[in-house]
Amino acid sequence: MPAKDIKNHTIKQLETLAEEIRKDIVSNVKNCGGHLSSNLGAVELTLALHKVFDFPKDKLIFDVGHQSYTHKLLTGRDLSRLRTKGGASGFPDPEESEYDAFAAGHSGTSVALGIGYCAARDLRGGTEKVVCLIGDASLGNGAALESIFSSEKKPKNFVVVLNDNGMSIDKNDSAFFKAISKATAKKRYRKVNTVLSRTFKETSAFGKYLRKIKYSVKGWLNKNYFFERCGFKYVGPVNGHDLSELCAVLENIRGIDEPVLLHAVTQKGRGYAAAEEDPSRYHGVSKDFEDSDNTFSAALGNILLERAQKDTRLLAVTAAMTDGVGLASFAEKYPDRVFDAGICESFAVAMAAGMAKGGMRPVVCLYSTFLQRAYDQIVEEVCLSSLPVLFCVDRAGLVGADGKTHQGLFDVSLLRGIPNLSVYAPKDAAEFADIFDYALSKNAPAAIRYPNGVAPALGARTQISDETLWEVLEEGEDVAVLASGARAVERALRARELVFPLRPAVINCRTIKPLDEKMLASLAGKRLIAFEEGYAEGGFGSAAAEFFAERNMPVSLKIMGAENTFVPHARAQEQAEALRLSAQDLAAEIKKQFSEMQEK
Amino acid sequence: MPAKDIKNHTIKQLETLAEEIRKDIVSNVKNCGGHLSSNLGAVELTLALHKVFDFPKDKLIFDVGHQSYTHKLLTGRDLSRLRTKGGASGFPDPEESEYDAFAAGHSGTSVALGIGYCAARDLRGGTEKVVCLIGDASLGNGAALESIFSSEKKPKNFVVVLNDNGMSIDKNDSAFFKAISKATAKKRYRKVNTVLSRTFKETSAFGKYLRKIKYSVKGWLNKNYFFERCGFKYVGPVNGHDLSELCAVLENIRGIDEPVLLHAVTQKGRGYAAAEEDPSRYHGVSKDFEDSDNTFSAALGNILLERAQKDTRLLAVTAAMTDGVGLASFAEKYPDRVFDAGICESFAVAMAAGMAKGGMRPVVCLYSTFLQRAYDQIVEEVCLSSLPVLFCVDRAGLVGADGKTHQGLFDVSLLRGIPNLSVYAPKDAAEFADIFDYALSKNAPAAIRYPNGVAPALGARTQISDETLWEVLEEGEDVAVLASGARAVERALRARELVFPLRPAVINCRTIKPLDEKMLASLAGKRLIAFEEGYAEGGFGSAAAEFFAERNMPVSLKIMGAENTFVPHARAQEQAEALRLSAQDLAAEIKKQFSEMQEK
């Protein structure tokens, strides 16, 4: 279904197509997991954009990109293997299609990308139009606000479509959103809809049309004040599900060269009853949702619930991911002790620093890939003053279906370079609880990283303490595996079974910073294999290499970490195999080390 | 001069004190370097805050902190050795004084810190007031916008003082700023001043007072719309140099418990004619400003000027640091090709990604310490799609007088973990130009890091190419120094002279990623010393250690990098000595290596 095909579609045909696309999205997301509510809300908007603009000559820039499925379908991509190995990515990706102007995955950058692209276009005298599609929740992110509020000389032939579903991922508590959407927030979708219909029916020629919408809406909403001050012609609000209205307005916008912000009101989950009623729940749908009770995220929720009653200093901070990081039950029981910053990681971390200074013990719960958005605040606000903020770094390591833009492969190298910050990686959920308590007891900044999926239950051998930072899980000879993190430990134990009767030692290196220097030094005579799910560059193995280099101790140390590439969507296990980080790969390396040993 | 002393000062006495403080600031900044304009603009504001609030019980949170000198003087700190070793820091630091609630140095986080502190205070039932002091330029930063626009339920007993000098560091081209300061931007300082005097003279009782200011100003400015929507009572604008007005208004604000935004209009550089006229130039004043022609920053400006005429794709992007990064003359000659994003590093980097996609070659010029604010955009927007953005990373390594909050010790570990990104460190200005061309020719993301201060001229031996990534500066025996970066190379050459007649090899490791693998492998038999000005954790030496570990090659590799602590203000050379990274320290290590060699 190439994009150009819909150019001659009538509105009626587009409406029929919208229904088909909805069915396609629902069935594919049911099969493969993915983003449901946001995609269902953007069907008509995307159709109208494709009908009116000439992509890929014109550029369509998605913010976050979790609303790009309709666009993918219209540009010839098959969603039947969405987010699975070799299938379509869940996010825009220029490597997948020339219709995807930019890769996306994190919030708030589309407008900056658009402004930059337009600047380049204008310098070389290009004529293509640039359209950004951004949701109301993304607009509250600092990167988005920076770009919206940048120089009021916004580029020509530049359209920002604000997809305002009044929702964001969880409920939206942003004052900015409320300010710009006062009317929609108050009157909800249906009423706005009615008002809009009235407004639009009066209009005809575009000059009059635009002005009418603008001025009739002006006093009523005051919304345009923001955007006009920022250099945009404000158009809207329009009904984001009315293809006739959308196409007419976009056609007119296309005809002028001024920067325009089109405010479209949509309904998240539109057309799928369950998602309409509970769009938060259907924001991201996991294929194997049944695992959710055994994840590290669930463990975090339990840990907090257990400790919150005794320790009234414990607070949880999250960035629009209360459910995702496992805080749902904690938030229900202690609503005053959960702080959802919206998609504002910088704000979340700086706020936590303030809380720590104020005597509380904030636990900042973020996915690894989003934590990197607040790196500067971790350094400057938290660690420089050594404030006791605990970072729970979820989705650390290979993340599976979300792919390239969401991998948790950077955090070890990011975090272990920061003074005053300790970094931990528990092997299982029970150890997570131990480390949580241990980290809190240190009265200093700390980060605990753990992967998504089912948390193994490996059975605690020794409890972490100052004397037992690492633990020997399996004694052995000649070769020792230094395993960092739950998946690495679990695979190391399996690899040991695979190489039987060879007997490598298996060490649970549950502290990444500090290292267990005593144990590491004691292992210097063995052939060491550092094994981790993260980039080798600056990672855990690198820390071990530094340890020996600092002491000028020549050792045999093999680092097995992720190759330094962006890792596409597939199951996490498949990604590990592609990176040669499976139990089998480790077993092969162990065998190689033993055989080289014998050759000597 | 402890803070409590001014509690009983009359306005007259405070005015006299203000004059003394101004003189003190000017003379100390002349001697020691530091921030002049911003501090001169905040004298009366700070005095009034100290007169009215009870610091340190109440909390005063500085944004950025380059306006904290008056506060330092009022709280017993001597500025005669400002920013020098053992003297007062140029920024707030809780380790220096209990009056400094938080460390500061980077923009935009004060409001988030305040919100977090208030949340903690309210949970434990505290009664202290929290005051944030933030400039108009900082307010445009994404982190600040996130916090201002966060939940409209702002904490009680929370005051944000907006120090609006209509300037920012360079000229402020932010639409946000213009929106909130339309009147001040239009009418400039004096006129506002007159209007304000009229407004304030009519008032008496506070209820009436506040309301009068509010409503008389409302229609006139529309400014309060923003802040009231965001949950603040808007008060202002007030004349930020009129102590009588300031004290009266603050006294009243202190009496209510609602969240208040006080809008104070000030004049940057106030009271020092030269700074009043050219506040940009006097924003940050360097003690040894005479070196500016020989810096890497100046070299960058020349490189761009030379290449821009031939290569019309070259653009420069900066974040409120056009002068600081050396772009002044380039901006003068090519005003359309310099993009100043304001203090919005995320926006700057994402915009550059858009420019690269649009066919241009953006050169993003940032200080190392500010680059880390855009880490996520470097990963997701630039490197994931391998867009040809060139990062010129200024002030990399030890920065000297700015101290803890501004050290450029993180960038190597941050950058070398990012796929598709090459990382370079030229030994001198001539090599900077070579590497600039080489990096551009690669058509992929790249970063070039270099320190502040005088760039050495060491004389190019070999030009960088695919075959000559590194160069041997001095041949030698048994011991080889792998020097990364200009300062390291220069010190390594000096160290070699110091250890004569010993003859260590000196290698200029001008590529950090990729490494010169062939040369590195060829050196495996020697005793290696990796020498760099950056944290050892994940740094250049770590990369070398990984190289050998990946290949399972046991070598003797000593890493000499910065100890993992926050390094306080002093001269860069003193900081290097404190970290044992001087030429003398390297010479001692070389001798040690040679003598251990002989012992064998």
Query: In chain B, which residue's Cα lies nearest the Cα of A555?
Result: B554
With contact defined as beta carbons under 8 Å apart, do A102 and A61 qualify?
yes
pLDDT band of residue A460 (cuts 50, 70, 90) is low
Distance between CA B377 and CA B365 in Å, rounded? 15
Query: In chain B, which residue's Cα lies nearest the Cα of A568?
Result: B384
| DSSP codes of every residue in B251-285 | HHHHHS-S-EEEEEE--TTTT-HHHHH-TTTTSEE
Q: Stretch A30-36: mean pLDDT, rounded?
A: 92
Distance between CA A109 and CA A146 in Å, rounded? 9
Percent of chain A scoring above 90 in pLDDT: 77
Q: Decide: helix, strand or coil at residue B190.
A: helix
Q: What residues contact A419, with CB distance under 8 A and at least 6 apart?
A: A383, A384, B564, B565, B566
Average per-residue pLDDT for chain B: 89
pLDDT of residue A192: 36
Distance between CA A314 and CA A162 in Å, rounded? 37
B125 is in an annotated binding site: no
Q: Bridge-partner residues for A556, per DSSP?
A: A527
Stated as kind and residue range, the H or E segment containing B533 is: strand B527-535
Q: Stretch A441-452: mean pLDDT, rounded?
A: 98
Average per-residue pLDDT for chain A: 89
Is the pLDDT at B505 greater than 90? The verdict is yes
State how far the alpha carbon of A226 is from the alpha carbons of A192, A229, B91, B161, B242, in Å: 20, 5, 34, 22, 31
Handedness of CA A530, A533, A539, A540 (dihedral sign): negative
Is the pLDDT at A433 greater than 90? The verdict is yes
Is the pLDDT at A110 greater than 90? The verdict is yes
pLDDT of residue A277: 77
Count other Cβ atoms within 10 Å, centred on residue A362.
Answer: 30
| DSSP codes of every residue in A141-165 | SHHHHHHHTS-S-PPSSEEEEEEE-
Distance between CA A464 and CA A511 in Å, rounded? 9
Residue A3 φ then ψ, to 5°: -55, -40
pLDDT of residue B224: 55
Q: Decide: helix, strand or coil at residue B447.
A: strand
**Exposure of A351 by Cβ count < 10 A (0-12 exposed, 13-18 middle, 19+ buried)?**
buried
With contact defined as beta carbons under 8 Å apart, do A220 and A198 qualify?
no
Q: Bridge-partner residues for A234, per DSSP?
A: A261
With contact defined as beta carbons under 8 Å apart, do B77 and B3 qualify?
no
Helices (DSSP H) in B420-571: which residue ranges?
429-441, 486-498, 517-522, 540-550
pLDDT of residue A119: 97
Is the pLDDT at B354 greater than 70? The verdict is yes
pLDDT band of residue A407 (cuts 50, 70, 90) is very high
Q: Which of A546, A560, A565 to mutate to test the interface with B (most CBs of B within 10 A)?
A: A546
Pairing of strands A338-340, A314-318: parallel
Stated as kind and residue range, the H or E segment containing A62 is: strand A59-62
pLDDT of residue A214: 38
Answering whether pTM is above 0.90, one says yes
Is the pLDDT at B72 greater than 60? The verdict is yes
Is the pLDDT at A577 greater than 70? The verdict is yes
Q: Which of A106, A178, A556 sits opposite B552 (nearest CB)?
A: A556
**Annotated catalytic residue within B44, B245, B345, B431:** B345
Q: Stretch B246-260: mean pLDDT, rounded?
A: 94
With contact defined as beta carbons under 8 Å apart, do A135 and A165 qualify?
yes
Which has the closest alpha carbon to B411: B361, B456, B364, B342?
A: B364
pLDDT of residue A122: 97
| B284/B310: higher pLDDT | B310
pLDDT of residue B229: 75
Distance between CA B278 and CA B37 in Å, rounded? 9
State how far the alpha carbon of A103 is from the alpha carbons of A168, A438, A579, B399, in Å: 21, 40, 22, 35
A345 is catalytic: yes
Distance between CA B576 and CA B487 in Å, rounded? 10
Beta-sheet strands, E only, within B258-389: 260-265, 284-285, 314-318, 338-340, 361-367
Which has the closest alpha carbon to B35: B74, B70, B60?
A: B70
What tens digit of pLDDT does each residue of B545-558 get?
999 998 888 899 99
Is the pLDDT at A276 greater than 90? The verdict is no
pLDDT of residue A273: 82
Q: What residues contact B248, with CB distance under 8 A and at least 6 apart?
A: none
**Annotated catalytic residue within B121, B268, B416, B496:** B268
Which has the closest alpha carbon to B127: B155, B102, B97, B162?
A: B155
What tens digit of pLDDT does each residue of B21-59 get?
999 999 999 999 999 989 999 999 999 999 999 999 999
Count other Cβ atoms within 10 Å, centred on residue A503.
Answer: 16
Is the pLDDT at B180 greater than 80? The verdict is no
Pairing of strands B314-318, B338-340: parallel
Burial A427-463 (b: 16+ CB within 10 A, else e): bbbbbbbbbbebbbeeebbbbbbbbbbbbbebebeee
Which has the closest alpha carbon to B106: B309, B480, B451, B406?
A: B406
Handedness of CA B573, B576, B578, B584 (dihedral sign): negative
Crossing angle of helices B296-308 and B429-441, in 10° steps, is: 50
Inter-chain touch A149–B564, beta carbons under 8 Å? no
Confirm or reject contact between B357 and chain A (CB < 8 A).
Answer: yes
What tens digit of pLDDT does each residue of B315-349 get?
999 999 999 999 999 999 999 999 999 999 999 99
Tell me which amino acid residue B354 is: G
pLDDT of residue B196: 34
Q: Decide: helix, strand or coil at residue B479.
A: strand
Task: Residue window 542-561, chain B: list those with CB within 8 Å of chain A.
Answer: 542-546, 548-550, 552, 554-559
| B44/B193: higher pLDDT | B44
pLDDT band of residue A169 (cuts 50, 70, 90) is very low
- Residues counted in chain B: 600
pLDDT of residue B205: 34
Q: Stretch B163-171: mean pLDDT, rounded?
A: 62
Inter-chain touch A146–B556, beta carbons under 8 Å? no
B116 is in an annotated binding site: no
With contact defined as beta carbons under 8 Å apart, do B395 and B451 qualify?
yes
What DSSP designation does A383 have?
Answer: I
Distance between CA B315 and CA B108 in Å, rounded? 27
Confirm or reject contact between A337 and chain B (CB < 8 A).
Answer: yes
pLDDT band of residue A165 (cuts 50, 70, 90) is confident
pLDDT band of residue A391 (cuts 50, 70, 90) is very high
Q: Decide: helix, strand or coil at residue B191.
A: helix
pLDDT band of residue B582 (cuts 50, 70, 90) is very high
Residue owning tokens 């202690």: A334
Is the pLDDT at B122 greater than 60? The verdict is yes
What DSSP designation does B294 have?
Answer: G
Task: Determine which of A212-226, A551-565, B90-104, B518-532 has the lowest per-residue pLDDT on average.
Answer: A212-226
pLDDT of residue B347: 97
Tokens of A289: 């949702």
pLDDT band of residue A173 (cuts 50, 70, 90) is low
Distance between CA B492 and CA B531 in Å, rounded? 8
Is the pLDDT at B5 greater than 90? The verdict is no
Please give the angle made by the CA atoms of A292, A294 and A300, to the nearest 5 degrees: 90
Q: Decide: helix, strand or coil at residue A588.
A: helix
Is the pLDDT at B531 greater than 70? The verdict is yes
Query: Distance from CA of residue B93 to its chain's centroid?
Result: 15
Q: What is the ipTM of this complex?
A: 0.92
**Annotated catalytic residue within A268, A337, A395, A526:** A268
Q: Stretch B232-237: mean pLDDT, rounded?
A: 87
Confirm or reject contact between B120 and chain A (CB < 8 A).
Answer: yes
Of the segments A182-191, B231-240, B477-486, which one has the largest average pLDDT value? B477-486
Tokens of A496: 């040991």
Distance between CA A80 and CA A87 in Å, rounded? 8
Task: Residue window 190-219, chain A: list those with CB within 8 Å of chain B.
Answer: none
3-state class percentages of chain B: helix first, strand second, coil last, to nearest 5: 45, 15, 40
With contact defined as beta carbons under 8 Å apart, do B424 and B448 qualify?
yes
